[in-house]
Amino acid sequence: MLALENRCNISEPIVDSQSFRIFELKPDEFEYLQRRLIEILPEYYVDPQSIVNTLERLGRPAAARKLLTKIPEVTNIRSGDIGEVLATDYVEDSTDYVVPIRKLRWRDHRNMAMRGDDVIGFIFDLDRQTIRFLKTEAKANRNLSRDVLQKARDELDNDQGLPAPHALEFIAERLRELGNNTLSDLIEKVQLVDGIRADQVEHLLFTFTASNPATLQKEAFEAYSGNINQSSVGFRVIEHQQLIQNVYQELIDGLDN
């Protein structure tokens, strides 16, 4: 985990009774965040056990090339991936939800964005055979804008605000392939038999920016008039572009060496 709550100055502007949090990375934590992202990013692209298997069979150069084929070359895809990794880490570290699938491992092409909901968190109740869902939209932009926030709102409101059916089926199928039939079966039962209600769902808007998200993100948050619980997090890193560039360059340099 990145432990963002321990690495940031946190403020929580009041927006009715719902959660809006601003995390601003402390200047002396930049090197830590960069190093930890370099360490954890590979597991978002390739199953660590798969890398181990390739390493044992074919050696380190082959394992390095395997990971390299998954690393995006396009700047905006890299930015989006970092945003998704940060959002996933926040969900698992700072909420009660879990994210059981690292979906970037199944991307069609390393330079293409994946379709569907960015991150879906789950609270599984196996005894009651129920699930709570956290539908998350992650936006990574140097400067936040109303247009970016409107796109995020549109994505969260798709499918009546519920998790996209194809995204849930994707997760269920990946869990089944990994041998976790219990969670796969429960997702399909809740989706296909019970039906998902709005009161089982929460939305999270997570932004990763260099600019201060306070005014625009609060404005967007207050404008929501639907019936699904909302939470919003703005993660600010002044050296936004430098962080992305450094993380990928050092990761690639390490593979080349």
> E-assigned strands of the chain?
8-11, 19-25, 119-125, 130-140, 201-209, 229-236
First to last CA, the chain: 26
With 70 as the cut, is the pLDDT of residue 137 above it?
yes
State the pLDDT at residue 19: 84
Token code pair at residue 121: 């968190």
With 80 as the cut, is the pLDDT of residue 194 above it?
yes
Tally of residues, the chain = 257
State the pLDDT at residue 221: 85
Residue 118 · residue 63 · CB < 8 Å:
no
Neighbours of 105 (CB within 10 A): 14
d(CA 102, CA 233) in angstroms, rounded, equals 21
* Window from 9-23, 38-52, 104-118, 221-235 with minimum mean pLDDT: 9-23
Share the mean pLDDT of the chain.
94
| Percent of the residues in the chain that have a pLDDT greater than 90, as a whole number | 88
With 80 as the cut, is the pLDDT of residue 86 above it?
yes
What is the value of pTM for the model shown?
0.95
Confidence band (pLDDT; 50, 70, 90) for 17?
low
Token code pair at residue 155: 């994505």
State the pLDDT at residue 94: 95
State the pLDDT at residue 23: 97
Nearest-CA neighbor of 159 among 184, 191, 123? 191
State the pLDDT at residue 115: 81
| Number of Cα atoms under 13 Å in the Cβ half of residue 42 | 19
- The pLDDT of 232-256, averaged and rounded, is 95
Q: Is 225 left (phi over 0), alpha (psi -120 to 50) or beta?
A: alpha
Scan for tokens 């390095």, then name that residue. 64
